Structure 1
Amino acid sequence: MTMRKSAALLALALPLAFGRPAQAQAPVQYNLSFPNAAHHEARITVTFRELPAGPLQVRMARSSPGRYALHEFAKNVYDVQATDSKGQRLSVMKPDPYGWTVAGHDGTVTFIYTLFGDRTDGTYAGIDSRHAHLNIPATLAYAQGLEQRPAEVKFALPQGWTVASQLRPDAGGATWYAPNLQYLMDSPTSLGPQQVRTWQEQGKTIELQVLHDGTPAELDAYTEQTKKIVKEAAAIFGGLPDYDFGRYTFVANYLPQTSSDGMEHRNSTSLTSSRPLRGPGAIDNLGTVAHEFFHSWNVERLRPQDLEPFDFQRANMSSNLWFAEGFTQYYGELLLRRAGIYTDEQYCQEALSGIVDAMLTIPGPKRYSPVYMSQQAPFVDAAAAIDPNNRSNTYLSYYYIGAGNALALDLQLRQRFKTDLDTYLRALWKEHGQQQNYAPAKPYTLRDLQRVLGQVTKDTTFAGQFFRQHIMGHEAHNYEQLLAPAGLLVRRAQAGQATLEARLQFNPDSSATLGTTLLGSPFYLAGLDREDVVLRLDGRKPTNAREVQKLLTAHKPGDVIQVEARARDGVRTVPVTLQENSDLEVVPYEKADRTLTKAQKKFREEWLNGKAKSGGKR
């Protein structure tokens, strides 16, 4: 009789609970411990309370914010069990590869599992005796139907470890909170002996929480450079975003076992690299800092409508990654120049040369638009496949094709309309980015991007033409003409040098295996392709890269050499016409023995010099 009475009371209570707003319902509670960290395991307990009658569907995410391919995080979950409020074991079934069905509960389910993780980057979980770097979709299970409930997370930390996260801590730092599942999944968390640097910028708290092997002085110097980047980024938009809890956190792991990556989030970014905070590696790391921090505006708050809300159970396709990632790629490098970290020459070498070369010499952008390249993200964004593809001839990353269009648009706005790309970004931010409530209130469409460009230029014809030709189409920009007013020259990096334009893998028997041959390249025109084996070049064995280069140096573009190759149809000898090396570079006029005029100098300074009050000038 007592059991029947309890069941009746529970049946009455559950509708009342689910009649309340999700934020008032029992939070989902997570407890994480690391008893076997040396072997890359975490033990995770999730408690779901005030559940409706019927089976509970528990899932692991299949995709992750900022990543667009499927990653199937359930593959690293095992030792699963579930209990009710009294600790009684519950039936756990597996209806599909991605989750579990828990039946027979009494309104409470405690779901327990072991997670394996040994990749420290922005997508997965990396756990060892030194630290735990947790991308939350790869770490925490969730229940269908409870996505709007708040979450509470507790960590059983090994001695000396602290927590770095955009989650909101309680006063003692023992419990960390998220308002809903979307925010929880967007909150990378690093556990370990953090070294912390914190400062105030425009009334907001900015913090670096860093795991690294270097000295405090190296981190201090790195922090000063980061401060300059933060100021320059804020100057573009007229101020910092209103971070949800008044704080932005760089969650950084610069340890030998990490994989190089950066992943944007609303109020933080995950930074991972094996490069130290000194020497050339420091600038590479700062480039990731600049790119990811710019994302706290572009893509996190100024967000494409086709990514809202993010769906954790499928690949998320967007037509706008050329803008979300590509324009961010452009500004990430530009911020290094405006912050005084790059000189003009370094900016040309490290940023502009790569953009212009990719846009003008790679086959992909001659064939397909930035919109198309964006839509390919589920197949290329760290996606795994074992079958060969032809992307060398059909694809250019939306990072590069977007950056190439950002560069061209910025220069056209400056030359034709007495405005600039900064102004365009501020206009978009004002209309589509500033209004937030843990999520963008007014995400944009492709049509919105074109419309606002027309408003900024006061020329809707130009805006429509730019989008038709260069965003939905694939017409090339004239970068030589666009860069000339800044006193920057586009030229052949190795003019007059003969090349095969091929990727060769050299074999122990002094042959060389071809990679995918590029459209229009010498081997492509000769009818040779991937996995064909070059036996002799001009009568010589292709022993190594040095020998092949020596052979090419003895020839000039247009020369015909005989190539003996073992193809799928047998061994044959074919004539191959050498071409001129097509690599392009961008250099300042001063480095090319050209005169830099006062007008060009002024144009370049207005474009590249710092915009923040303390921005460095060169």
Structure 2
Amino acid sequence: MPLAALAQAPVHYSLAFPNAVHHEARVTVSFSEVPAGPLQVRMSRSSPGRYALHEFAKNVYDVQATDSKGQALAVSRPDPYGWDVSGHDGTVRFTYTLFGDRTDGTYAGIDAVHAHLNMPATLAWARGQEQRPAEVKFDLPAGWQVATQLRPDAAKGTYYAPHLQYLMDSPTSLGAQKTRSWQELGRTIEINMLYNGTDAEVDDYTAKTKRIVKEAAAVFGGLPSYDFGRYTFVVNYLPQTSSDGMEHRNSTSVTNSRQLRGDDVMNNLGTVSHEFFHSWNVERLRPRDLEPFDFERANMSNSLWFAEGFTQYYGDLVMRRAGIFTDDQYCQYTLSGVVGAMLNSPGAARYSPVQMSQQAPFVDAAAAIDPNNRGNTYLSYYYIGAANALALDLMLRQEHKTTLDAYMRALWQQHGEPQQNYAPAKPYTIPDLQRVLGEVSKDTAFAGQFFRQHILGHELPKFEQLLAPAGLLVRRARAGQASLMARPVYNAADSTATLGSTLVGSPLYQAGLDREDVLRKVDGQRLTSAKTLTELVAAHKPGDVVAVEYRTRGGIRTAQVTLAEDPSLEVVTYEAAKKPVTKAMKKFRTEWLSGKAK
């Protein structure tokens, strides 16, 4: 049979849940028109949007394989991640039990009331079959419905993916869905939610999500052409759920155990805003070093500062523009955290955003048991990217009569809109990002300097100067207060406190104290409660020297520790700081933070 015909023979998946109460699914994968020789069946080791290894094969067992006549086939294990099936007649039915009890964007969560399935953690696949379409059938318990970006085929009762890349990128939630749907700019946007709360809470959440969708679309001048005409928020807010958000091409997986009331709504909507912005940035406007995604290894990118960090900036900015945040809340929840992290992180002063991006395989839900020194060497590409997005937006507005919105639109038009075979036709490189910045700013020298200093280098932005034209002030959050710049864990059993890693330049670091050292006395006093240390330090001023008795690996020691001023920063409006606000400041702030949707 010609290769073109072979490439079109679909892979059929069937999922049933006869033992869901014990977190098991029974999965059957049917491969037809298989070439002669062993079929190499694999479980993924990585997942789109995650960059570390996860070894999903560890939750697969009771593996069996048969041919077209139901005859058992020989199954061998060439490595921990897959199986070789030999002696087939061109057909292989590969069946296994999957265990899953973590509901988030990475794993599979199965129980008596729902199944939340990240496909790399759920579905086996075969080498050489990656371009074949897939059809998935769910044997659903009573009352369960399907939420997925896979294309439904009502006649067959199946769900379709054009190839393995799309299939693996399609999280699916099964359960009693609360569904909301609306039309936005000619596209269908839908929310499918597993939630035990009220319909009124879901309606309020939906109304705010609609505003988020409008403001995100306004940044780019429209919505993407979703492949099957719709975008799906796959939402799970059940009590057994872990907090997560994971972007996908035509959907997002949003999970949290928090309810849709009080401050929890704000937290949940922040994830919605961030993940929806990804339907442009990283799903279609995508770095070349992530195309195509490799499911058998860790995927490293140099551009997560942009893909995730600029999305982090816009996720919160969209919330402000949608009216979900006030100016003061935007300062409190977003700007204070981003600016404080950037200016106070030893890692940000040490390594560039590109180098931080390269660390993702070690930090993005990666598991390790040995200690590390990331407190002194690392700042998340989310924060370092968001901080540089903020700085660049303010630079463009103040010095170049344009905006970061215009930059994102230009990138979208050149590298995001062109698509083919459900994938970006022109994924970008870092030189592409610099080139387009030069075009939008009409200043190639500025673009080159920004990338050299702030993206390839690690020069910190001057936020005090950049935020002042918007009538925003960067200041010490606890000015004049003394600090050890550490948060030791109190041990009530013996009235001591155990240190974590100490930060470079902090009082304890300078005095020679390190992780697992145990504070016994401070300023001559025992730590009789968890509050004692805070109270003892608060009684002093920055620059005071206090004696600290501690137990280290070498025995009992006493050090003279010079207290520092608390380095915590905050961003506040001039109004809150009782500073005069000019009309120009108000105008600048309004043009930056006000809604753009019509």
Q: TM-score, normalised by structure 2?
A: 0.99
1:465 pairs with 2:449: yes
Q: For residues 21 and 422 of structure 1, do their structure 2 counterparts lie closer, same or farther at Cα, with a shift above 3 Å needed?
A: farther
3-state secondary structure, aligned to 1:599? helix
1:605 pairs with 2:594: no
2:436 is matched with which residue: 431, 452, 468?
452
The CA distance in 1 between the partners of 2:6 and 2:96, in whole Å, is: 29
Unaligned runs of 5+ in 1: 1-15, 614-618
Report the equivalent of 2:44: 61
Deviation string, structure 1 residues 4-56 (Cα, Å, up to 9, x no partner): xxxxxxxxxxxx1534262xx32000000000000000000000000010000
1:505 pairs with 2:470: no
* Cα contact 1:506–1:543 (8 A) shared by 2: no
* Cα contact 1:255–1:274 (8 A) shared by 2: yes
Deviation string, structure 1 residues 308-348 (Cα, Å, up to 9, x no partner): 00000000000000000000000000010000000000000
2:9 is matched with which residue: 11, 26, 45?
26
Unaligned runs of 5+ in 2: none
1:244 pairs with 2:195: no
The CA distance in 1 between the partners of 2:245 and 2:367, in whole Å, is: 19
The CA distance in 2 between the partners of 1:67 and 1:557, in whole Å, is: 42
Report the equivalent of 1:616: none
1:154 is matched with which residue: 137, 145, 149?
137
CA drift at 1:568: 1.1
1:140 pairs with 2:127: no
Q: 1:226 is matched by which residue type in structure 2?
A: T
Q: 1:500 is matched by which residue type in structure 2?
A: L
The CA distance in 1 between the partners of 2:204 and 2:451, in whole Å, is: 42
* Cα contact 1:59–1:143 (8 A) shared by 2: yes
Q: 1:600 is matched by which residue type in structure 2?
A: M
* Cα contact 2:6–2:33 (8 A) shared by 1: no
The CA distance in 1 between the partners of 2:42 and 2:154, in whole Å, is: 31
2:518 is matched with which residue: 526, 529, 533?
533
Report the equivalent of 2:91: 108
1:518 is matched with which residue: 500, 503, 516?
503
| 1:72-111 equivalences in 2 (<5 Å) | 72-111=55-94
The CA distance in 2 between the partners of 1:430 and 1:17, in whole Å, is: 38
The CA distance in 1 between the partners of 2:262 and 2:455, in whole Å, is: 38
3-state secondary structure, aligned to 1:427? helix
Report the equivalent of 1:582: 567
2:368 is matched with which residue: 374, 377, 385?
385
Q: For residues 322 and 308 of structure 1, do their structure 2 counterparts lie closer, same or farther at Cα, with a shift above 3 Å needed?
A: same
The CA distance in 2 between the partners of 1:543 and 1:215, in whole Å, is: 46
Over the aligned positions, Cα root-mean-square deviation in angstroms equals 0.8
The CA distance in 2 between the partners of 1:422 and 1:372, in whole Å, is: 25
Report the equivalent of 1:475: 459
The CA distance in 2 between the partners of 1:382 and 1:432, in whole Å, is: 29
The CA distance in 2 between the partners of 1:522 and 1:142, in whole Å, is: 54
CA drift at 1:547: 1.1
Report the equivalent of 1:286: 269
CA drift at 1:570: 1.3
Kindly report structure 1 stretches of 4+ aligned residues shifted beyond 6 Å.
Answer: none
3-state secondary structure, aligned to 2:502? coil
The CA distance in 1 between the partners of 2:310 and 2:254, in whole Å, is: 20
1:546 is matched with which residue: 525, 531, 541?
531
The CA distance in 2 between the partners of 1:302 and 1:531, in whole Å, is: 44
The CA distance in 2 between the partners of 1:138 and 1:173, in whole Å, is: 25
Q: For residues 28 and 173 of structure 1, do their structure 2 counterparts lie closer, same or farther at Cα, with a shift above 3 Å needed?
A: closer
CA drift at 1:173: 7.3
1:253 pairs with 2:236: yes
The CA distance in 1 between the partners of 2:472 and 2:314, in whole Å, is: 18
CA drift at 1:276: 0.8
* Cα contact 1:17–1:50 (8 A) shared by 2: no
Q: TM-score, normalised by structure 1?
A: 0.96
The CA distance in 2 between the partners of 1:459 and 1:18, in whole Å, is: 50
Count matched residues.
596
1:325 is matched with which residue: 304, 308, 333?
308
CA drift at 1:278: 1.2
* Cα contact 1:517–1:523 (8 A) shared by 2: yes
3-state secondary structure, aligned to 1:590? coil
The CA distance in 1 between the partners of 2:587 and 2:20, in whole Å, is: 57
Q: For residues 239 and 173 of structure 1, do their structure 2 counterparts lie closer, same or farther at Cα, with a shift above 3 Å needed?
A: farther
The CA distance in 2 between the partners of 1:117 and 1:75, in whole Å, is: 10
1:193 pairs with 2:176: yes
The CA distance in 2 between the partners of 1:166 and 1:444, in whole Å, is: 25
Q: Provide the identity percentage.
A: 74
